[in-house]
Amino acid sequence: MEIHTARLRLRSLRSTDCSAWIAGMEASLELHRAWVPAVTADRSTRFAAQLAEHESGASWKGIALAEDGRIAAWVNLNGIQRGVSQCANAGWSVSAPFAGQGMMVEAVTALLDVAFAKDGVALHRVAAGIMPENTRSLRVAAACGFREEGFAPELVCIAGQWRDHRLFAKLAREHRPPG
């Protein structure tokens, strides 16, 4: 499934994305360092693990491509639960050259289109945890219609410290149909 937005094309990760994925991650190290868990394995191992996770159905790993073909953003639905839950945790990061241009709101809206589409991931609920200091990410969540549901102390270890997160979610019925 592919989603086209005003400036981006969202699709799932492919094996041929490896070098662009690594180049984009390396260009964005500084931007990501304080906010997302560090990559401990070497980058091609990390890419292979992400692809395997996607192909197993455990997660949906996506990239948003700019008009020139570069990766503008990474958007994921992690830890997909089926059965009576039908939910996943959203994760998002912008590629540094595309930061601060509203691309992330476009990419996350498209991610939610994929998440809730019956011919996409067909989820009922998408959750997101955001550090209270991550103003930019909080604004992305608000712009994409996430509702705040609670607070989780010391939820994730980032850059060596257990960090509190504000908890958000969006249900399928709360999301506008794509198009």
Ligand X SMILES: CC(C)(COP(=O)(O)OP(=O)(O)OC[C@H]1O[C@@H](n2cnc3c(N)ncnc32)[C@H](O)[C@@H]1OP(=O)(O)O)[C@@H](O)C(=O)NCCC(=O)NCCS
Distance CA 171, CA 118 (A): 14
Instruction: Give the range of 28-36, 44-52, 59-67, 167-175 binding ligand X by CB under 6 A.
Output: 28-36
* 47/92 with CB nearer ligand X: 92
The burial class, CB within 10 Å (0-12 / 13-18 / 19+), for 132 is: exposed
Residue in 22, 26, 23, 40 with CA at minimum distance from that of residue 158: 40
**For ligand X, which residue of 51, 64, 103, 144 counts as binding (CB under 6 A)?**
103
Closest CB 48 distance from ligand X, rounded Å = 22
Closest CB 137 distance from ligand X, rounded Å = 4
User: Does 37 sit near ligand X (CB under 6 A)?
Assistant: no
Binders of ligand X among residues 7 to 26 (CB under 6 A) are: none
Closest CB 165 distance from ligand X, rounded Å = 8
User: Does 94 sit near ligand X (CB under 6 A)?
Assistant: yes
What is the greatest pairwise CA distance in the chain? 42
User: Does 100 sit near ligand X (CB under 6 A)?
Assistant: yes
Question: Contact at 8 Å (CB) between 54 and 153?
Answer: no
User: Does 135 sit near ligand X (CB under 6 A)?
Assistant: yes
The burial class, CB within 10 Å (0-12 / 13-18 / 19+), for 135 is: exposed
Q: Are strands 147-158 and 60-65 parallel, antiparallel or unpaired?
A: unpaired
Q: What is the per-residue burial (b if ≥16 Cβ within 10 Å, else e) of 97-107?
A: ebeeeebbbbb
Closest CB 70 distance from ligand X, rounded Å = 14
**For ligand X, which residue of 4, 14, 82, 136 counts as binding (CB under 6 A)?**
136
**Interacting residues toward ligand X by CB under 6 A:** 31-32, 35-36, 92-94, 99-105, 130, 134-137, 139-140, 143
